[in-house]
Every structure is written in C-alpha cells, then in structure tokens.
C-alpha cells in the first residue's frame, strides 16, 4: 500500500496514550537479584560481551606473564610446568572463551537492532547459552590457579593428551569444558541463523540485508558445519581417556593424525568464524566513515560466502609437516592461497569506499581502529600466503613466525574491529559516548605495541625459535628480539588499560540522547528503548536512514509496524526468509529462572564429570533436563490470541506450525548440526579403515548375521510410521485422546529397541570396543545414535504429558512436530550407520 507513497503512515498517529508505557512495562529489564532472569538481547548481549572482554583481559594477563618470562634467556620467573599451563590456557581462553563468544555476543547485541526486531526469536536459548558459557568458562579458567590446568597446548594433540602421557584430570577439564562451551556456541548459532532469516523487518529482502547480517549468517552456518567435528573429536578423546577405546593410540589401530584432521577441520574455519563477523563490522563502519555506500556490496557478499566455502578446504595446511603425500600438499597449498582472494576483495572494497567519500574525512577512534586493522590484517594475510607455500611452511611451522602470523591475523582481523565496534556502537547501549581522546591513546598504544611485539617474532622464528618453549639459552641470538616483543606486549596492555579507564569514566548503560552521532545509515541507529524501536520500520533500501531522513522520527512516533503489543506480551514480527514478507507475530517468553538454572546445572554436570564425581553429576544432569522441561512447558502459548493487527492493514496469526514456524527452522538447523557430527564420524570411520585395514579384515568375521541389522532397520522404520500416525491421530482443538501418547511411546520403544539390538548383536558376536579401532568405531556408531534416541525419549514423554494436559491438538502441535522431525533424522542416520558398519567390513575383507 505504501510502495507508491513512501510517506504514507503504516500505523495511524498519534498513537493512543499509554501505549509506550505498556511496551516499557512488557519489556522492562528485571532489576537487582532478578537480573539473571533477564532474556532481552540488549541485556544478554551486553553480559555476553562483557564476559568475553573479561576473558580477553585475563588471557592477556597470562600472555604478559609469558612475555615477562621470555624477556631474557634462561629466566626462571615461572616454572616449566606453569608455563606449559599458561600457554595452553591463554590459547584456549582467547579462542574459545573470548573470540568466538565475543563475535557471537555482537550478533546477539547488534543483530536485532540492525533488523529492528524486538528481540531474537529464542530469547531464553541465548540467555541459556550465555550463562552456560559464563559458568563453564569461569571454572575452566580458574584451573590455572589450582595447578589443574591442561598442559597440552590449545590444540591438545594426542597421544600426548592420552591418559598414559597426561594422567590426572587436567586434560579432561579441557575436553569437557571446551566441548560444553562449543555446545553453547551452537545454541547461539541456531539463534542467529533463525534470527537473520526470519526476524528481518518487512521489506528487508536479502539484497537489503546489512553486510553484518550476511557475515553473521555465514558465521553461524560455519559453526553448524565446523563445531560438530571438534565435538566429535573431544568425545572420541574423552572416551579413549576414560574407557580405553583406541581411536588415537597407534597400538590399538588408532591414528594420532585423526585428531589433527578433525581438530583442524574445525580449527581452520574457526579462524574465519572469528574473522568474518569482524570483517562484517568493518564493512558497516567504513561506509559511515566515508558517509557513502559500500563500493562493491554484492562482491563483498560473494567474498564472504566464498571465504566460508574455501575455509573448509584448508585444514591440512596446519599439517604440512606431518609427512602427508605431495598431491595433498599441492591441493591444500592451492586452496590456502585461493582464500586470499576474498580477503583482497574486502580490503580493496573498503579502500574504494573510503575514496568515494563526498564529505570531509573525520579520523575518529573507530576510523583509526579500522585503518589499523587494514594494515595489520594485510600484513598477517601476506605472511599467511607465505606459510601456504609448502617449502617455506616446513621452516616456519611451529615457530615464532607462526606465533607472529596468527596474532597479526587474529588481532588485526578481530580485536581491532572489536575495539572499533566498542567505540562505534557505544551509543546503542550507553547514554554517553566513549572519549575520543582516550580512544586515540588506546589505538596508538595498541597499534604500535602490536607491531613492536609481533614484528620481531617473524625473525625470531626463522632464527630457529620454536613456539611453546618456556625458556631458551643465551647462546642463541634470540634475546634481543624477545626483549623487544615483551616491551610491545606491555604497550598493548597499556592500551587496553586506557580503554578500561575510558569505560569506567564514560560507559553508562542507558538510552542515548543522540542515537546517531556518526550520521550512520542503518537501523541500529534509530532511537531505541528496552523494547528496541518504538515501531518496526518498513525497509526499502540498504541505508534506510540516509535514504529517508524522516524515518527515525516516523518510527519513534509509532507510525510503522507493531507500534503496540497486540497479544499483551513480548512479540516480534516473523517474515519470510528471502523477501521478508510479514508472516506471523511470534509470542516470546519474558524473564524466567529456568534457563538460568538449566545452564548452571548443565555446567555443574559437565564439571563434576570432569573430576569424576559421578553421582552428583548425574543428579545435576537430571536437574538440568527438568529445568529445560519446565522452561519449555510455558513457551508454546498456542493460538489463543487469534490473528492480530500489526499496521498497514495486515492481520497476522500468532501461531503457525510446519515450515513457516521459526521453531521448525531451528529444528532443521539442529538436524544439520547432528548431520555434521555424523559426517565427521563417517570420515573418522573411513580414515581409520584406510589407516589400519587389518582391524577391518578381522572384523568381517565377527559381524552378526544380516538378520540383525535388518531387524534394527525395521524397528527404526516402524518408529517413523508410528510418529506419522501419532500426528494424524491428534484430537481436534479442545478434545483429548490417548491414541497419540500410546503411539508416541511405542515409537520411542521401537527406536530404543533398534539401537539396543544393534549394539547387543555386536557384543554377542564377541566384539569389544577396547579391542581395536575397528571395534571402537562400531560401538561409536551406536553411541551417536543412542544419544539422539535418548533425547527423543525425553521429548516424547514431554509430548505425552502435554497431550494429556490438553496442550497438543491438530492445530497446536509444534511439540510433536519437532519431535517427529528428530525421529525422521535419526532414522536416516541410523540407516547410514547400519550400512557402513555392516557393509564396509565386507568390502575390506574382499
């Protein structure tokens, strides 16, 4: 209706009295001791970002201790054992507790504002992820104070991390702690994917999505594919440590290189997982510096997608020195260089955008950090091309050259954009801007400090200094370089200290009187309050605030969509994934305790398992599940409120199921996560088969008869049929019956029977998981399917109870629908598993 006349009002103004007050009340942030119940993205996002920054400072302090130790040769300031813990915790904290959470926090904090959504679609899920991360991360970090920290380096290569060489619990802290934090990252990624695809404002079709939205979408997609590989790796290593299943130990047919493949299949994309969102932020800031649209917007989108794609073909460049065949070397060397092209596109696009400015240049603090990033990241990228050259890599690998390279890339590619972000987006959450003077001090100290610290390391590395050594003799010419590096490290620290002083002096949570101090063009600079924007704007360009200067006023007056709260609770508009056509109004949960307790108990369960206090761990695990069930009980509010008016003559339903529902999308993403995990398993199975085929030849003789896998397959198929029937047998709204619960329970039993039959038949045939890598892999297939079945059993029982409580019927059936989706996926995974486990040994033996 307003395509023809952009100034037409979508909602009539002036708005009725009390409407804003109602919004303020609905979206009010819990105060005081109730703060942990808060779920709104600005509160959670700030908490998330604050926690990540604290870990950045803590891990930075560890780095200072290490730099002090290395300042002079033959130093004994810290012991060898402490130093080995220091670099392990420094690397692990920076990668897992700072970098990934920080960019995910920026997604939680900035995305809904950029999309002018009231909140992310699953507020309690992100709150859960944040609390789980804070509790788990704090315990992991504190191990350094109790001499309990792992000593394996942040990539924890076995066999060194197997029980034989790393007895005690320290390595388990890494495995369980990190595995757990990865799960929290995946929860965040699901939230971000569904948020970007389904909660964009009306009219913001994908071609009008800000670059940061693209970056976060690709970031989350990469997490979905990459993180399961390392989750599988940590599962395998933990199982080998605890139960002796030989996945990595060569004595039992395992292979230490399997860990490296799985780890770097995650680890290299991880670098781009960190870099892409930061690059996305730069692509948002540069147009504002220039006050001109980004040059080559579409090329940048293609570059981001290409980076995500290429990054999965690079992992072997971390393994060039492991003696892999030269054909692989050639392939991965080429792929490693190809990834430089998308980075080049972005750098030149930023330069072109800066050149295209029409107004006077303002070198504000965010601009300085962006320019610093341009220099540092370019240098780091160039040394990256160097190490992609195999012969050079053989010299540089595992030396201080690599230490220098990775710090240039990560600090240039992520930390500098983050600091630019702090200064640039402060007005979104703080009533005062940060100081430009202190900001410039921070910048110059960090910029000069970084180059002083890391430039000499390139040379120290080529002069023969390996990484991860706690001291070095004075007979080698490394002392001067190290002293300079140490001075640089203290300069960086001084810069961070000035920033903290700036935060203390100027950062005040609250609404800014001047929401758009930089004259930026994107929606996050609209006037904001706890409910996000007063009304949700209709968007028709990439820079709506530049193209329609009156938009801020209109939105604040409530003249756009959803200026009120028609269902009386928290809600936002769900739009279609491509064209952003409004589809329905999602009712969202408000503050609550259950996600918080679920997070605390989940963290407690993992950490108690780490120190092998099994019974309390199980109790905490059960409590965590109970909390989750209580939490989701209230979420499915049903279609009671009926279609509501959101403005512009649009009446939208408040409840949908099937492919239109945001919950359905989350379930699909979760299935992709499970699928990635299983693909990593299939890769591991085939890898160990080629690495020790003897086990598979022997294994063929120990396979159960073909009837057994047929029986399991039949039971899985039966389960699918039962869940389909259960959906069909649901009562009309208001009705009730026991057919659906009965079918669901039978279905869950069929699934359980299928798994038990499969595992039992191998046990009967005499195969043991501890015998060989073959046996371990056979049982691992069972473990992976069994964990899905366990989840399905819990979900099915929950569905039965809800059905009997009258909360599931033909219309209101999201709970059953999501359970069924997982059943279909499990069926597919189990069939693939049966084919592999019962098929490959025949191939191997023939």
User: Which residues ranging from 240 to 299 are in contact with another protein (CB under 8 A)?
Assistant: 250, 255-257, 295-296, 299
Q: Which of 331, 411, 346, 343 lies closest to 381 in space, CA to CA? A: 343
From 210-218, 332-340, 629-637, 657-665, give the range in contact with another protein by CB under 8 A. 332-340
**Do 776 and 247 contact (CB within 8 A), yes or no?**
yes
* E strand residue ranges, 592-735: 644-647, 650-652
Among 356, 757, 787, 810, binds another protein (CB under 8 A): 356
Among 330, 622, 701, 710, binds another protein (CB under 8 A): 330
| Under rule CB under 8 A, residue 143 binds another protein | no
**Helix, strand, coil fractions of the chain, as percent rounded to 5:** 70, 5, 30
Supply 49's token pair: 């970002």
Supply 704's token pair: 């159960």
Among 393, 610, 657, 772, binds another protein (CB under 8 A): 393
| Under rule CB under 8 A, residue 395 binds another protein | yes
CB of 343 to another protein, least distance (A): 8
User: Helices then strands (H, E): number in the chain?
Assistant: 27, 4
CB of 362 to another protein, least distance (A): 11
| Under rule CB under 8 A, residue 406 binds another protein | no
Among 398, 511, 540, 636, binds another protein (CB under 8 A): 398
Among 352, 494, 742, 791, binds another protein (CB under 8 A): 352
Q: Which is nearer to another protein, 35 or 355 (CB)?
A: 355
From 369-377, 585-593, 738-746, 834-842, give the range in contact with another protein by CB under 8 A. 369-377
**Number of residues this chain uses to bind another protein (CB under 8 A):** 80
Site for another protein in 465-484 (CB under 8 A): 466-472, 476-477
Q: Which is nearer to another protein, 294 or 671 (CB)?
A: 294
CB of 391 to another protein, least distance (A): 5
Check whether the bond before 450 is cis (ω within 30° of 0). no
Q: Which is nearer to another protein, 321 or 437 (CB)?
A: 321
**Do 526 and 118 contact (CB within 8 A), yes or no?**
no
| Under rule CB under 8 A, residue 349 binds another protein | yes
Q: CA–CA separation, 326 vs 320, rounded Å?
A: 9
**What are residue 645's DSSP bridge partners?**
651
Q: Which is nearer to another protein, 169 or 636 (CB)?
A: 169
Q: CA–CA separation, 304 vs 277, rounded Å?
A: 10
Q: Which is nearer to another protein, 2 or 163 (CB)?
A: 163
CB of 361 to another protein, least distance (A): 6
**What are residue 584's DSSP bridge partners?**
574
CB of 317 to another protein, least distance (A): 12
Among 40, 283, 365, 383, binds another protein (CB under 8 A): 383
Q: CA–CA separation, 384 vs 115, rounded Å?
A: 35
Supply 719's token pair: 């389960």
Among 392, 633, 664, 824, binds another protein (CB under 8 A): 392
Site for another protein in 558-617 (CB under 8 A): none
| Under rule CB under 8 A, residue 462 binds another protein | yes
Q: Which of 206, 184, 208 lies closest to 197 in space, CA to CA? A: 206
| Under rule CB under 8 A, residue 163 binds another protein | no
β-strands 644-647, 650-652: how paired? Answer: antiparallel
CB of 618 to another protein, least distance (A): 33
Among 39, 111, 222, 347, binds another protein (CB under 8 A): 347
Q: CA–CA separation, 180 vs 185, rounded Å?
A: 9
Q: Which is nearer to another protein, 463 or 745 (CB)?
A: 463
| Under rule CB under 8 A, residue 159 binds another protein | yes
From 121-129, 272-280, 373-381, 418-426, give the range in contact with another protein by CB under 8 A. 373-381
* E strand residue ranges, 459-606: 570-575, 582-588
Q: Which is nearer to another protein, 231 or 396 (CB)?
A: 396
Among 354, 445, 555, 644, binds another protein (CB under 8 A): 354
| Under rule CB under 8 A, residue 374 binds another protein | yes
From 345-353, 611-619, 668-676, 756-764, give the range in contact with another protein by CB under 8 A. 345-353
* Cα dihedral 479/481/485/491 (nearest 10): 100
Q: Which is nearer to another protein, 250 or 653 (CB)?
A: 250
From 76-84, 221-229, 782-790, 792-800, give the range in contact with another protein by CB under 8 A. 76-84
- Dihedral sign from CA coordinates of 357, 362, 364, 370: positive
From 222-230, 342-350, 517-525, 659-667, give the range in contact with another protein by CB under 8 A. 342-350
**What are residue 652's DSSP bridge partners?**
644
CA-derived radius of gyration, the chain:
27
Say which residues have a Cβ less than 8 Å from residue 560's Cβ, sequence separation at least 6.
10, 11, 535, 536, 537, 538, 554, 647
Q: CA–CA separation, 68 vs 86, rounded Å?
A: 12
Length of the chain: 846
| Under rule CB under 8 A, residue 634 binds another protein | no
Q: Which is nearer to another protein, 204 or 446 (CB)?
A: 446
CB of 95 to another protein, least distance (A): 16
| Under rule CB under 8 A, residue 712 binds another protein | no
* Cα dihedral 663/664/666/667 (nearest 10): 120
Among 24, 25, 81, 805, binds another protein (CB under 8 A): 81
Site for another protein in 416-455 (CB under 8 A): 455
DSSP letters along 302-350, please? HHHHHHHHHGGG-GGGG-GGG---HHHHHHHHHHHHHTHHHHHHHHHHH
| Under rule CB under 8 A, residue 375 binds another protein | yes
Count of Cβ atoms closer than 10 Å to residue 614 Cβ: 10
Count of Cβ atoms closer than 10 Å to residue 505 Cβ: 12
CB of 218 to another protein, least distance (A): 18
Q: CA–CA separation, 549 vs 545, rounded Å?
A: 5
| Under rule CB under 8 A, residue 371 binds another protein | yes
Among 49, 117, 183, 329, binds another protein (CB under 8 A): 329
**What are residue 573's DSSP bridge partners?**
585
Among 18, 147, 394, 618, binds another protein (CB under 8 A): 394
């Amino acid at each position: 209706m307003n395509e023809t006349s952009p100034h037409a009002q979508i909602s009539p103004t002036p708005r009725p009295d009390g409407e804003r007050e109602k919004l303020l009340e609905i979206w009010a942030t819990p105060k005081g001791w109730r703060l942990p119940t808060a779920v709104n993205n600005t509160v959670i996002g700030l908490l998330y970002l604050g926690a990540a920054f604290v870990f950045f400072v803590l891990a930075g302090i560890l780095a200072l201790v290490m730099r002090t130790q290395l300042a002079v040769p033959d130093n004994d300031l810290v012991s060898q054992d402490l130093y080995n813990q220091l670099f392990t915790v420094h690397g692990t904290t920076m990668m897992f507790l700072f970098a990934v959470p920080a960019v995910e926090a920026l997604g939680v904090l900035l995305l809904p504002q950029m999309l002018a959504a009231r909140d992310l679609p699953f507020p309690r899920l992100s709150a859960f992820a944040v609390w789980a991360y804070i509790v788990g991360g704090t315990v992991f970090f504190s191990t350094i104070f109790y001499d309990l920290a792992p000593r394996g380096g942040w990539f924890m290569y076995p066999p060194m991390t197997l029980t034989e060489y790393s007895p005690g619990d320290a390595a388990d802290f890494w495995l369980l702690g990190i595995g757990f934090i990865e799960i929290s990252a995946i929860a965040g990624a699901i939230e971000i994917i569904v948020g970007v695809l389904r909660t964009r404002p009306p009219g913001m079709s994908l071609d009008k999505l800000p670059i940061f939205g693209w970056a976060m979408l690709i970031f989350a997609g990469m997490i979905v594919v990459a993180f399961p590989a390392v989750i599988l790796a940590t599962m395998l290593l933990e199982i080998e440590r605890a139960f002796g299943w030989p996945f990595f130990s060569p004595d039992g047919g395992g292979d230490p290189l399997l860990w490296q493949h799985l780890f770097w299949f995650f680890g290299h994309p991880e670098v781009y997982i960190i870099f892409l969102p930061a690059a996305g932020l730069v692509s948002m800031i540069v147009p504002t510096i220039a006050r001109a649209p980004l040059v080559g917007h579409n090329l940048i989108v293609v570059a981001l997608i290409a980076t995500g794609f290429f990054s999965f073909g690079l992992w072997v460049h971390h393994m060039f020195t492991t003696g892999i065949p030269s054909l692989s070397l050639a392939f991965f060397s080429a792929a490693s260089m190809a990834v430089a092209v998308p980075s080049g596109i972005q750098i030149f696009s930023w330069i072109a955008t800066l050149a295209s400015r029409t107004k006077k240049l303002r070198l504000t603090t965010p601009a300085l950090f962006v320019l610093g990033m341009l220099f540092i990241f370019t240098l780091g990228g160039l040394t990256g091309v160097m190490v992609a050259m195999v012969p050079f890599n053989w010299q540089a690998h595992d030396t201080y050259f690599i230490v220098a390279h990775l710090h240039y890339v990560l600090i240039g590619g992520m930390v500098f954009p983050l600091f630019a972000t702090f200064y640039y987006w402060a007005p979104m959450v703080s009533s005062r801007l940060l100081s430009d003077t202190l900001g410039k001090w921070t910048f110059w100290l960090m910029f000069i400090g970084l180059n002083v610290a890391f430039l000499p390391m390139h040379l120290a590395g080529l002069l023969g200094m390996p990484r991860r050594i706690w001291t070095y003799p004075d007979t080698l010419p490394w002392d001067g370089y190290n002293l300079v590096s140490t001075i640089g490290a203290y300069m960086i620290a001084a810069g961070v200290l000035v920033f903290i002083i700036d935060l203390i002096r100027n950062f005040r949570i609250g609404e800014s009187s001047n929401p758009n101090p930089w004259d930026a063009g994107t929606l996050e600079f609209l006037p904001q309050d706890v409910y996000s924007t007063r009304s949700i704007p209709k968007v028709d360009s990439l820079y709506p605030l530049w193209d329609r200067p009156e938009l801020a006023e209109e939105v604040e007056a409530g003249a756009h969509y959803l200026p009120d709260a028609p269902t009386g609770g928290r809600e936002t508009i769900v739009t279609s994934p491509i064209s952003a056509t409004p589809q329905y109004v999602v009712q969202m949960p408000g503050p609550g305790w259950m996600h918080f307790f679920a997070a605390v108990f989940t963290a407690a369960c993992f950490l108690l398992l780490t120190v092998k206090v099994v019974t309390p761990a199980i109790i905490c695990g059960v409590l965590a599940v109970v909390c989750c069930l209580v939490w989701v009980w209230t979420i499915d509010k049903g279609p009671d409120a009926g279609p509501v008016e959101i403005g512009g003559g649009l009446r939208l339903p408040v409840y949908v199921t099937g492919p239109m529902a945001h919950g359905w999308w989350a379930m699909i993403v979760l299935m992709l996560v499970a699928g990635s995990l299983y693909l990593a398993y299939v890769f591991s199975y085939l890898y160990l088969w080629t690495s020790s085929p003897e086990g598979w030849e022997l294994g063929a003789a120990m396979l159960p008869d073909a009837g057994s896998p047929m029986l399991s397959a039949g039971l899985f198929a039966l389960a699918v049929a039962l869940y389909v029937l259960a959906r069909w047998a649901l009562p009309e709204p208001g009705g009730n019956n026991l057919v659906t619960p009965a079918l669901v329970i039978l279905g869950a039993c069929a699934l359980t029977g299928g798994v038990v039959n499969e595992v039992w038949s191998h046990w009967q045939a005499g195969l043991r998981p501890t015998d060989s890598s073959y046996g371990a892999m056979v049982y691992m297939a069972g473990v992976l399917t069994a964990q899905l079945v366990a989840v399905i059993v819990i979900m099915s029982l929950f569905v039965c109870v809800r059905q009997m409580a009258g909360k599931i019927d033909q219309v209101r059936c999201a709970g059953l629908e999501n359970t069924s989706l997982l059943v279909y996926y499990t069926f597919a995974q189990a069939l693939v598993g049966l084919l592999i486990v019962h098929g490959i040994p025949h191939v191997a033996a023939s």
